[in-house]
């Protein structure tokens, strides 16, 4: 069963989150101020328009009763003024909505940009401990709730608050006695909103969790359809989907049940309030304590008083949900970026390391590709060591093969060369320079990797190969493709090098995707090349063709090869046999066979690499 997505609920620090959201709209202060003025004007226009009922009835309509040919000129003028007020209020409301839309899209543009840039700066270890779906929700559902908050919820909340405040003030001015009656009914309505709205909000959060779980499960099943069918998992998949779909159905039914009864309940309570107010207002008018215009205006205020209260309650839930989403976005932004204390840089034109000296000068060290591990200890978790006392030296131009069972530490060695992780003890040097002193961008700019799991980006074949070096010319890209023996199949694609790849290159075979990955590494022209099961998905014939091309690519370069297929490492200069994070044997193919140790047993099939 896929885990439920985290993060639905209330924010932990409302004040800090609000202040941080406001920091993204600092550049829109004047627009924001103008929008607030428009909101206030719109609410005030609605309140003032309603008050116009009192003079219209008292000064014009009532005096007209019994007159044969009344003069309507002043009455028409008053109606025109009233209509103009409502028209200006509508224009102000439209203007505020447009302004808030501009502000919200601009703020979200900044937030998404900063969020994406921060993700590029996070260490590899962060992505190993967070699921892709969890991170994607920051860009989708969390930003969507924040957009709704800035573009509509905030505007409606301010407008409703001003309307309630203004209407309440006018009601007190018109009739304190009737206002007390209305407030009793408002207390009942607030209780109903709190009870029903609280239930609705709880179930809507459960619905969001159920949607996330179901969508994640559907995506997982779609990606793994081959596995599902091969292992006849269809019935079990249906059962699990039925359970997830049932959870969603149950949560959605409850959420919408309470949501759908909220407005009718509030409507009926408002009608009861209106009826009671009309009854007592009429009695006071008959008794001569109120005039008819006041009663009419008060009744109109009564109708416009309950709706903003309902809106405030609903927007309050939306506000909390949006602040919770914003808080999750900001938590990701506050993650510590990948540390890079290195001060050694690379002069790419001269291929020289620039090593700062204590006297302020700079020492130039030739870029050769010598990698040396000295008594290296490493762990992902403190209580589970991965590498223990590993020492090795890879001279420029040497091919180093790493063999051993799964979990022996082969990939960890290459991860340390790239500085995806830092060691716990010992040292790793690159051309005699501690790699922790080399700036990561310069270090990785001299390396290239071909992984077992090939990832291709949406774009043309040419662009995917050029990903290895963005300034590579078309001729250099084609040369790299020929070197990896990818040129032949590329020419047979519908548009050759301009064929667009989508969905991680699913329109290519696994072997073709691997060839493109090798071509991408070749165009980078690296000093150090890392091949992590680079030929695992390629047939033997293609593998032989690749090895011929790779021999040219490997010349003058330091190469690390991780392979389970021992036939691919026979011509390596050094073969390191790892077991439980330690190098137990080291030498070339012939010397290791002569030792008749673990490598001998593996090569002759006495043991299998798993």
Q: What pLDDT was estimated at residue 87?
A: 94
Q: Both 49 and 131 in a single domain?
A: yes
Q: Both 518 and 554 in a single domain?
A: no
Q: What pLDDT was estimated at residue 429?
A: 95
Of residues 342, 345, 332, 428, the one with CA closest to residue 121: 332
* Cβ neighbours, 10 Å, residue 146: 23
Rounded to two decimals, the pTM is 0.71
Q: What pLDDT was estimated at residue 439?
A: 93
Residue 362 within a domain: no
Chosen domain end from 469, 501, 525: 525
Contacts of 417 (CB under 8 A, 6+ apart): 371, 428, 435, 447, 528, 530, 560
Altogether, the residues listed in the chain come to a count of: 610
DSSP 435-469: GGGB-HHHHHTTEEEE-SS----SEEHHHHHHTT-
Q: Taking phi first (over 0 means left), then psi (-120 to 50 degrees means alpha), and beta for anything else, what does residue 57 get?
A: alpha
The 3 state secondary structure assigned to 11-52 is CCCHHHHHHHHHHCCHHHHHHHHHHHHHHHHHHHHHHHHHHC
Residue 2 within a domain: no
Q: What SS3 class is residue 472?
A: coil
Q: Both 546 and 477 in a single domain?
A: no
Q: Both 427 and 472 in a single domain?
A: no
Tens digit of pLDDT for each residue in 89-105? 999 999 998 998 899 89
Pair 464, 520: CB distance under 8 Å: yes
Q: Which residue in this structure is represented by tokens 């069963």? A: 1
Residue 302 within a domain: yes
Q: Give the domain extent around 490.
A: 455-525
Pair 449, 414: CB distance under 8 Å: yes
Q: Both 410 and 518 in a single domain?
A: no
Residue 363 within a domain: no
Pair 586, 390: CB distance under 8 Å: no
Q: What pLDDT was estimated at residue 8?
A: 46
Residue 9 within a domain: no
Q: Both 161 and 299 in a single domain?
A: yes
Helix (H) or strand (E) holding 269: helix 234-286
Of residues 100, 120, 277, the one with CA closest to residue 186: 277
Pair 172, 179: CB distance under 8 Å: yes
The alpha carbon torsion through 81, 85, 88, 92 (nearest 10 deg) reads 170
Residue 26 within a domain: yes
Chosen domain end from 273, 308, 333: 333
Residues of the chain with pLDDT below 50 are 1-8, 607-610
Tens digit of pLDDT for each residue in 338-355? 888 889 999 988 889 999
Q: Both 432 and 460 in a single domain?
A: no
Q: Both 473 and 435 in a single domain?
A: no
Pair 484, 518: CB distance under 8 Å: yes
Q: Both 520 and 538 in a single domain?
A: no
**What CATH number should be reported for the domain holding residue 521?**
3.40.50.300
CA count, 13 A, side-chain hemisphere, 431 = 24
Chosen domain end from 525, 540, 573: 525
Q: What pLDDT was estimated at residue 552?
A: 65
Q: Both 287 and 300 in a single domain?
A: yes
Residue 435 within a domain: yes
Of residues 460, 519, 457, 466, the one with CA closest to residue 488: 519
Query: How many structural domains compose the chain?
Result: 3
DSSP letter assigned to residue 567: G
Q: Both 376 and 432 in a single domain?
A: yes
**What CATH number should be reported for the domain holding residue 229?**
1.20.1560.10
The 582-587 sheet, strands edge to edge = 447-450, 528-532, 558-562, 399-404, 574-579, 582-587
Distance CA 528, CA 447 (A): 5
Residue 343 within a domain: no
Q: Both 80 and 178 in a single domain?
A: yes
Q: What pLDDT was estimated at residue 259?
A: 73
Q: What pLDDT was estimated at residue 548?
A: 65
Pair 17, 331: CB distance under 8 Å: no
Q: Which residue in this structure is represented by tokens 């416009």? A: 304
Q: What pLDDT was estimated at residue 534?
A: 67
């Amino acid at each position: 069963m896929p885990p439920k997505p985290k993060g639905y609920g209330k924010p932990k620090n409302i004040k800090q989150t609000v202040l941080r959201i406001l920091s993204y709209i600092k550049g829109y202060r004047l627009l924001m101020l103008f929008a607030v003025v428009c909101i206030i004007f719109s609410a005030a226009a609605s309140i003032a328009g309603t008050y116009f009922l009192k003079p219209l009835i008292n000064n014009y309509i009532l005096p007209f009763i019994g007159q044969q040919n009344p003069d309507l000129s002043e009455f028409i003028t008053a109606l025109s003024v009233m209509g103009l007020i409502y028209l200006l209020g509508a224009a102000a409301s439209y203007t505020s909505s447009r302004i808030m839309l501009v502000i919200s899209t601009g703020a979200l543009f900044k937030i998404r940009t900063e969020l994406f840039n921060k993700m590029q700066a996070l260490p590899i270890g962060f992505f190993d401990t967070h699921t892709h779906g969890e991170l994607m929700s920051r860009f989708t559902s969390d930003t969507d709730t924040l957009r709704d908050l800035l573009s509509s919820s905030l505007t409606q909340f301010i407008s409703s608050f001003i309307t309630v405040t203004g209407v309440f003030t006018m009601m007190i001015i018109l009739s304190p006695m009737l206002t007390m009656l209305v407030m009793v009914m408002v207390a009942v309505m607030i209780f109903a909103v709190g009870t029903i709205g609280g239930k609705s909000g709880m179930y809507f959060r459960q619905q969001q969790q159920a949607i996330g779980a179901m969508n994640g499960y559907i995506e997982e099943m779609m990606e793994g359809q081959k596995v599902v069918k091969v292992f006849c998992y269809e019935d079990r998949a249906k059962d699990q989907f039925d359970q997830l779909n049932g959870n969603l159905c149950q949560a959605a039914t409850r959420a919408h049940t309470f949501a759908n009864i909220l407005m009718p309940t509030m409507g009926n309570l408002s009608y009861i309030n209106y009826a009671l107010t009309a009854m007592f207002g009429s009695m006071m008018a008959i008794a001569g304590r109120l005039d008819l215009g006041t009663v009419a205006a008060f009744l109109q205020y009564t109708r416009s008083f309950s709706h903003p209260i309902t809106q405030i309650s609903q927007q309050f839930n939306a506000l909390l949900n949006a602040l919770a989403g914003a808080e999750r976005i900001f938590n990701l932004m506050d993650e510590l970026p990948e540390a890079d204390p290195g001060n050694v840089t690379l002069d790419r034109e001269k291929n020289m390391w620039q090593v700062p000296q204590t006297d302020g000068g700079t020492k130039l060290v030739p870029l050769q590709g010598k990698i040396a591990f000295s008594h290296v200890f490493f762990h992902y978790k403190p209580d589970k060591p991965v590498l223990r006392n590993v020492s090795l030296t890879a001279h420029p131009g040497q091919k180093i093969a790493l063999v051993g069972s799964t979990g022996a530490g082969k990939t960890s060695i290459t991860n340390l060369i790239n500085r995806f992780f830092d060691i716990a003890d010992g040292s790793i040097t690159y051309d005699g320079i501690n790699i922790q002193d080399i700036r990561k961008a310069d270090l990785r700019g001299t390396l290239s990797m071909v992984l077992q799991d090939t990832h291709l980006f949406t774009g043309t074949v040419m662009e995917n190969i050029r990903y290895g070096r963005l300034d590579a010319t078309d001729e250099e890209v084609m040369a790299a493709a020929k070197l990896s023996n990818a040129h032949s199949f590329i020419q047979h694609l519908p548009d050759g090098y301009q064929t667009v790849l989508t969905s991680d290159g699913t329109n290519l075979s696994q072997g073709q995707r691997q060839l493109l990955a090798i071509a991408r590494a070749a165009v980078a022209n690296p000093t150090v090349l890392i091949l992590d099961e680079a030929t695992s998905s390629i047939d033997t014939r293609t593998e032989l063709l690749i090895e011929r091309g790779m021999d040219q690519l490997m010349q003058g370069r330091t190469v690390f090869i991780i392979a389970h297929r021992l036939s691919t490492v026979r011509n390596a200069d050094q073969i390191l046999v790892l077991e439980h994070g330690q190098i137990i044997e080291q030498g070339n193919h012939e010397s290791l066979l002569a030792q008749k140790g673990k490598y001998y047993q593996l090569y002759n099939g006495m043991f299998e690499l798993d």
